[in-house]
Structure 1
Amino acid sequence: MATAELASERESDYLSQLTMAAARYANRSERREGNQSVLESRGVLYADTPERVEKRLARLGADWAMARAIERTQTEPASSAGSTLQLPPEAFTSDALGLERLIGRNNLTPVAFLEEGVQVSRSVGRITISGPGGGHGTGFMVSPSLLLTNNHVLRGTQDASRSKVAFAFQDSVDGSPLLPAVFQLEPLRFFVTDRALDYSLVAVAPRGAQGEDLSLFGRLMLSEAQGKVLIGEFVNIIQHPRGEPKQIALRENQIVDVLERFLHYECDTREGSSGSPVFNDQWEVVALHHSAVPKTDAQGRPLSVDGAVWQPEMGEQQLAWRANEGVRISRVLGALHEVPLTGEAARLRDEVFTARLTPPPGSSAPPTAPLNGESATRGTNGSIPGTNGSQGWTITQAGDSTTQFLLPCGSASASMPRRPRQQLSWPRHPLLHRCRQAAPRPPAGRPDVASAVENDVDAALINHRVAQERPYYDRVADAAAREAYYANIRTGDGDALRRALTKLLAESHEPQPKYKPMRLVYPWVDLHKDGQLRSIYSGKDFSAEELIRADAAVAQARLARMQELLLLESTAGPVEFEAEFDALEASMPFNCEHVVPQSWFGKQEPMRGDLHHLFACEVGCNSFRGNFPYFNFPNFEEAVREACGMRESVGFEPEEGEGAVARATLYFLLRYPGQVGDVAREFPEDRLPLLLQWHASEAVTEYELHRNAAIAEIQGNRNPLIDHPEWAREIDFSGVWP
């Protein structure tokens, strides 16, 4: 094929990418304007979906409680670490600063951010396609052998076979150019491409032109996990624009929209660089940059900077830029999973999904482990054609694909290096010592489950310390919030009132945090005014830190056991695994009580994590109550008694907290009609008078008012029986049972 024809074909591919990106951008104008309005009025936590925000917070070691607390703190830095949080320097972590950066409360970042940026930049190189129709692009190593770039950079094995990648093509600190290390691409060993998602994955020669070792340039870890970036966040792009020495667009690229397969981000630069990695502030790859979004005319044709219709021969620098588009890296990985490979090609592909820390020169590599706890194996649907030959694989894929994956047990955060942790002091709670001894050591080469739990402990203690600086209960502010919440509720008809409240509670229940009492219940929600936690059944006092660390010990032991079960996955099926997990939770419970037992609703969310019916409760009382429905014993002496209360086959009566648990149960009945009472063991309709009696006999306390306001901050909805105790007699509850 002639040189002009090859160049024309490449230009046509590029023009096609520009046109499709512009169309996608134009079709989302209304949504994007809405996102911008929310960003300006409320902030980055509210422009994206609650589910995505919750996952993003989790990857930062944070949660809604911490995020909402930071939003309400003073704006001036309050510690030598530069945080706006009321924290002593020794309690400050990079996770907290990352959350403040996300919210926009603080632009400070640890110096390690720059150091890590330098490290990841080593894996980014300039691709040069020589010969007819050649040019430049950017690519980055994603496994010890494979480089990722765009399909429109390397369209097939013919392009890749005459291409090279140069690492360290950049200037040194003193401004002089470094000597790049140049490696030949080896598509006959491995080449996979997908035009629809605009990615190509190709093998790189293990030795450079001057004998350099490819491993010296490391690789970027990729993850399918959600929550790596939100609308409104800023991303970083390391690139070789127009084939020039390596450059970086640092935090000047704001995410303005998240599509099913693409991200749109606006920036100050005129153009991007095809095949560049797009990073979040933790230097995780969130997208594969593949196209600029150009300004267009009424016919959708790209425009040049002077307003004329742009033509490829004008050069990329003459395009009038509006935004940039990247392919979501989770979608690239999902499609790659579905490519049917075998033998050596499958092994090379699987290395993309396998974590290996890049050792310094001269050291040996550590063992590998599945990235973020995810499985490195995947079944294929067999529907995509491939060619298998003795010299390698070439796969071409188009269209959408659906990917399912095993969720990790622990935290998936890949944030900056942390300082050494202080030795933990183990408080008086007896379960701490039992669980600490019970937790098995992880097998060699497996991730240490303790690190995931430590992230939760850090976040919980930050939540608690921030809470200590807040007013316990602001009566005036809460009265205003209560009035606004029920502004459209009308009384006078018991059935209509119940239906209206159920609708309101469901619609305002956003976000819907998952069940994690050490993070959401103990630090602030369930505190009494003296700063202590009090068992809802026995009235026994505990410090917040005590129960946080007790639950952390339980979580660590559970995770260690789950890890053992996963190792036996080949011999234990899903049913056996679920039974083992249920038994594990029953044998090692948290210090938290669901006043509506989890077995009554199958441990499903959002019921399981709904804070309105979660209370601090030591494990002894938790286990003693079990899933017995509440009951009023006329003769206490005939019942089995403990400090927690009384129990017989007919039910359980708590020693303390009858009014609070009654109001929490009534809330649950309103919020989740039909979930309780479908079997005889659960709370039957004929015991409704018992709840109403307990509710009437114990007035709403300041503790409950505080809980209600704190929960409303976190999950949006309120408990009507706390806000309006008088409604209990008016609401027609008959419709809440199946």
Structure 2
Amino acid sequence: MATAELTSERKSDYLAQLTMAAARYTSRTAQRERNQAVLQTQGVLYADAPERVEKRLARLGADWAMARAIEHTPTEPASSGGSTLQLPPEAFTGDALGLERLIGRNNLAPVAFLEEGVQVSRSVGRVTISGPGGGHGTGFMVSPSLLLTNNHVLHSAEEASRSKVAFAFQDGVEGGPLTPAVFPLEPHRLFVTDRALDYSLVAVAPQGTQGEPLSSFGWLMLTETQGKAVIGEFVNIIQHPRGEPKQIALRDNQLVDVLERFLHYASDTREGSSGSPVFNDQWEVVALHHSAVPKTDAEGRPLSVDGTVWRPEMGEQQLAWLANEGVRISRVLRALHEVTLTGAAARLRDEMFTAGLAPSPVESAPPIPSSNGKTALSAANGSQARAPAHATEGAAQLVLPLRIAVGFDTPMSPQATPLAPLPTLEPTPKAAPQPPSAARTDVVSAVEQEVDAALINHQLAQKRPYYDRTADIAARDAYYANVRTGGGDALRRALTALLEETHTPQPRYKPMRLVYPWVDLHKDGRLYGIYSARGFSVEELVRADATVAEARLARVEELLRQESTAGPAEFEAEFDALEASMPFNCEHVVPQSWFAKQEPMRGDLHHLFACEAGCNSFRGNFPYFDFPDFDEALRDACGMRESVGFEPTEGKGAVARATLYFLLRYPGQVGDVAREFPGDRLPVLLTWHENQAVTEYELHRNAAIAEIQGNRNPLIDHPEWAREIDFSGVWP
């Protein structure tokens, strides 16, 4: 906000902005108090919406299983650099510590946190408006040519034409001031503003008043992706308060509420800070700081520090603050996408969304390997590495337009022949070295991050009790407290409603991360193929699936480069065939083709089991069947198969209960075509369920899954309900 004498229009605008911010804050009092109560009693993982928390964990290279495992580990510091996690030192990076900070277990930060903060601060400058209504604000570069600030800092193109931005207006390490580089603004090239979202985007001259290149100050890369911050997390703000040299409000700024277009946070910002970038701990921009939230009287008028009604001529320093408000950066980007521009202005705007192809020297440095020669856990957005927060001009980096998760698994079609033999899980020989592309390096890095995170998940899980019967019985009784037995169809409907209501969060399909490390473990710490009972170590299956993931993505790269790939339908067919030829070591007991690979079915942990790729392919998408002893079915170590169905050698009770869960949770989803599980096969499942009692392994799975996705399997908790439930309503 300008610190010089305000014009009449500026006074009115600023007072209106304060009043609206205060009204938004007041209207959210009940929700904010609920957030604070949850933060104090449960922690940061539970105050925000589950899907937002899940996305935040994904950007940290983590998931619910890892976060919950950390919550259950002892709090005594280990020898790992002061961390409370009992892991070897090579497993630690800033992102592992970032997860600890997120859930409140540790406030340590790596030195690189400060180094990257210095790097991103270079792109933040002081905006100075000359002439009538002049003053100071803050702005930051968001592309090689464009600066983002507030609408109330730069109202118009005319005002921007008499404004400048100064970078490096700050004190040096020895205490003396640096020489700032001053750049004129050039609104004739581009100026976009929005009063409702309080942003202005303006072009900056490519050279400073002393000939300095604008490119040397880089820019902050913005993203619309969710998961950059959640309620209860701390944010950082780089700013020029009152037009003073650059300062930072570091980590003592808690995010207290998330609105549709705004964030509310408690932080130490002052006048002149308008237009500042608000960062998370990974130095990603999460908001555009734009207003304080003032204390108000009963009529909604802002109050001054002495309790009187505040007037603009008193100056911002006299306002009594409650909190601060920032505009969500995703909403700013969404609005900019929709602005109609043409010619050079359109190209400048679009550069904001494509300029992230040039990593800065810090981000482009090779990763530091751990003692086993692999990169340690680092930040990821799902299966993709997080984009650098700061960039400077340099060599372009190839980025393929590819958004495919590494965790795909399509069972082989029953017509596919010949059947793949049961594979060994030894590492595959490496081909002759080829010149690496940047995209290929990104693929390998993303898969390695998944491996690192999976193995950390497993290490944490080994510190936990395998199954706590007393706690689980209490959790089971509480879960079904409102379910009334009697009346088969009523019981089915009640269970379906309960399973759907409590299925939060809804994790995506990631067997490496969510199935192998903890959920599907047996008490001896090993995994066993659900159909063959063949045993494997967790690392065997994790690394085997990683090899498949890399091979799949390498083939996808080839498909994308081929001119013969005509369109989405053709690519989907190619990818389906690719998945079928290279399955993961994980089985959907209800095949994905029956529900068109849709979420949340695809990632629902209750019907996912470790299963070596050979058995996975052998079963295909055949429905379960009970062969008479005299039938001439095709036999394998995994079971028997014929055109009518598949009968596993092992695990019949477990897969029956998982299938019955699926029928309850997703009524109407399967059984509408002949090859899917028909209603007349229900007795097969009930017989398998009754002949093989629930094991401790299944009890462990059920409790572990409930921790991650919230719901339970009623057939494990109450086996006696199987004959009472009327399943006739689950088929289409």
Q: TM-score, normalised by structure 2?
A: 0.90
**Which runs of structure 2 are paired with 1:394-473 in the superposition (5 Å)?**
429-430=424-425, 432-433=427-428, 437=431, 443=437, 448-473=442-467
Give me the whole-angstrom Cα distance separating, in 2, the residues matched to 1:69 and 1:12.
Answer: 53
Residues 231-262 of structure 1: per-residue CA shift (max 9 Å, x gap): 11010000001111111000111111111111
Equivalent pair of 2:22/2:294 in contact (CA under 8 Å): yes
Q: Does 1:649 align with 2:643?
A: yes
Write the distance in 2 (CA, Å) between the matches of 1:551 and 1:707.
Answer: 21
Where structure 2 has 5 or more consecutive residues not aligned to the other structure, the ranges are: 363-391, 408-422
Residue aligning to 2:708: 714
- Quote how far apart the aligned CAs of 1:267 are: 2.4
Distance 1:36 1:244 in 2: 34
Corresponding residue number in structure 2 for 1:579: 573
Distance 1:257 1:568 in 2: 47
Matches of 1:691 and 1:647 in 2, distance apart? 17
What is the identity, as a one-letter code, of the residue corresponding to 1:180?
Answer: P
Q: How far 1:432 moved relative to its partner?
A: 4.6
Is 1:724 equivalent to 2:718 in the alignment?
A: yes
Cα displacement (A) at 1:289: 0.5
Change (3 A) 1:40 1:228: same
User: 1:158 & 1:246 partners in 2: Cα distance?
Assistant: 26
Contact 1:128–1:137 at 8 Å: present in 2 too?
A: yes
Change (3 A) 1:636 1:243: farther
| Aligned with residue 629 of structure 2, among 631, 635, 660 | 635
Distance 1:408 1:297, change over 3 A: farther
Q: Aligned partner of 1:635: which letter?
A: D
User: How has the CA–CA distance of structure 1 residues 444 and 668 changed in structure 2, closer, same or farther, with 3 Å as cutoff?
Assistant: closer
CA distance in 1, matches of 2:560, 2:150: 36
Asked whether the 8 Å contact 1:310–1:319 carries over to 2, the reply is: yes
CA distance in 2, matches of 1:260, 1:570: 43
Equivalent residue number for residue 390 of structure 1: none
Work out the CA distance in 1 between the residues paired with 2:562 and 2:298: 60
Name 1:685's counterpart in structure 2: 679
CA distance in 1, matches of 2:274, 2:301: 20
Pair 565,137 (structure 1): closer, same or farther in 2 beyond 3 Å: farther
Question: Which whole-Å deviations, capped at 9, do the CAs of 1:340-364 have from their partners, x for residues lacking one?
Answer: 233322222222112122359xx97
C-alpha distance after superposition, 1:373-424 (max 9, x if no partner):
6x6xxxxxxxxxxxxxxxxxxxxxxxxxxxxxx857589xxxxxxxxxxxxx
Amino acid at match of 2:323: A
> In the alignment, does 2:655 pair up with 1:661?
yes
RMSD of aligned residue pairs (Cα, Å): 2.4
Matched-pair contact (CA < 8 Å) for 1:272–1:292: no
Name the residue aligned to 2:608.
614
Secondary structure, in 3 states, of the residue corresponding to 2:290? strand
Amino acid at match of 1:621: C
Q: Does the aligned pair in 2 maintain the 1:150–1:290 contact within 8 Å?
A: yes
Whole-angstrom distance in 2 between the partners of 1:471 and 1:502: 30
| SS of residue in 1 equivalent to 2:693 | coil
State the SS of the aligned residue for 1:234. coil
| Counterpart-to-counterpart distance in 2, 1:275 and 1:157 | 16
Structure 1 position 199, deviation (Å)? 1.1
Alignment of 1:26-45 (within 5 A): 26-45=26-45
The answer on whether the counterparts of 2:360 and 2:393 sit within 8 Å (CA) in structure 1 is no
The answer as to 2:369 corresponding to 1:367 is no
Question: Tell me, what secondary structure is at the counterpart of 1:253?
Answer: coil
Candidates 499, 502, 507, aligned match of 2:501: 507
- After the TM superposition, which residues 110-509 of structure 1 pair with which residues of structure 2 at under 5 Å, given as runs? 110-269=110-269, 273-354=273-354, 355=356, 356-359=358-361, 365-369=394-398, 429-430=424-425, 432-433=427-428, 437=431, 443=437, 448-509=442-503
Does the 8 A contact of 2:461 with 2:517 survive in 1? Answer: yes
Unaligned runs of 5+ in 1: 376-405, 412-427
Match of 1:694 in 2: 688
Is contact 2:532–2:637 with CA below 8 Å preserved after alignment?
Answer: yes
CA contact (8 A) 1:532 1:544 kept: yes
How much does 1:15 deviate?
Answer: 1.6
SS, match of residue 317 in structure 2: helix
Deviations 1:551-582 (A, max 9, x none): 11222233333344455699643322332332
Post-superposition offset of 1:442:
6.1
Q: Does structure 2 retain, via aligned residues, the 8 Å contact 1:39–1:232? A: yes
Aligned counterparts of 1:18 and 1:570: Cα–Cα separation in 2: 58
Change (3 A) 1:92 1:445: closer
Residues 272 and 611 (structure 1 numbering): CA distance in 2 closer, same or farther, change over 3 Å? farther
Cα shift readout 1:645-702 (whole Å, capped 9, x = no counterpart): 1100000000111111011111111111111211111111111111111111111111
Change (3 A) 1:442 1:681: farther
Is residue 556 of structure 2 the alignment partner of residue 526 of structure 1?
Answer: no
- CA shift in 2, pair 1:310/1:61, >3 Å: same
Residue 598 of structure 2 corresponds to which residue in structure 1? 604
CA contact (8 A) 2:148 2:275 kept: yes
Give the C-alpha shift of residue 447 in structure 1: 6.3
The more displaced of 92-101 and 652-661 is 92-101
Deviation at 1:717, TM superposition (A): 1.0
Aligned to 2:411: none
Separation in 1, partners of 2:45, 2:653: 35
Q: Say if 2:15 is the partner of 1:21.
A: no
Question: How many residues align structurally?
Answer: 685
For the Cα contact (< 8 Å) 1:272–1:324, is it kept in 2?
Answer: no
CA contact (8 A) 2:489 2:725 kept: yes
Partner of 1:79: 79
Alpha-carbon distance change, 617 to 579 in structure 1, aligned in 2, over 3 angstroms: same
Equivalent in the alignment of 2:9: 9
8 Å Cα contact 1:439/1:556 also seen in 2: no
Alignment partner of 2:254: what SS?
A: strand
Matched AA of 2:216: L
Letter in 2 for 1:68: R
Is contact 1:438–1:557 with CA below 8 Å preserved after alignment?
Answer: no
Relative to structure 1, the CA distance from residue 553 to residue 170 in structure 2 (aligned partners, 3 Å threshold; closer, same or farther) is: same
Question: Cα gap change, 1:540/1:496 in structure 2, threshold over 3 Å: closer, same or farther?
Answer: same
SS at match of 2:235: strand
* Percentage of pairs with the same residue: 80
> 2:18, 2:292 within 8 Å by CA — same for their partners in 1?
yes
Structure 1: distance between partners of 2:241 and 2:5: 24
Deviates more, 1:466-475 or 1:610-619: 466-475
Residues 104-141 of structure 1: CA deviation (Å, up to 9, x unaligned): 11111111111111111111000000111111000011
Deviations 1:324-354 (A, max 9, x none): 1111111111111122233322222222112
Contact 1:62 1:95 in 2 (8 A): no
Query: Structure 1-normalised TM-score?
Result: 0.89
Q: Secondary structure at the match of 2:236?
A: strand
User: What SS does structure 2 have at the residue aligned with 1:638?
Assistant: coil
Amino acid at match of 2:139: G
Aligned-pair distance for 1:80? 2.6
| Distance change >3 Å, CA 336–CA 10, structure 1 → 2 | same
The 1:23–1:206 alpha-carbon spacing in structure 2 relative to 1, beyond 3 Å, is same
Contact 2:425-2:540 within 8 A present in 1 as well: no
* 8 Å Cα contact 1:535-1:616 kept in structure 2: yes
Contact 1:432 1:554 in 2 (8 A): no
* Aligned-pair CA distance for 1:143: 0.9
For residues 440 and 196 of structure 1, the distance between their equivalents in structure 2, rounded to whole angstroms, comes to 52
Q: 1:328 to 1:178 in 2, by over 3 A?
A: same
Counterpart of 1:458 in 2: which secondary structure? helix
Q: Which segment is superposed worse, 60-69 or 296-305?
A: 296-305
Provide closer, same or farther for how the CA distance between residues 444 and 97 of structure 1 changes in structure 2, counting only shifts above 3 A.
Answer: closer
Seen in structure 2, the aligned counterparts of structure 1 residues 517 and 192 have a Cα distance that, compared at 3 Å, is: same
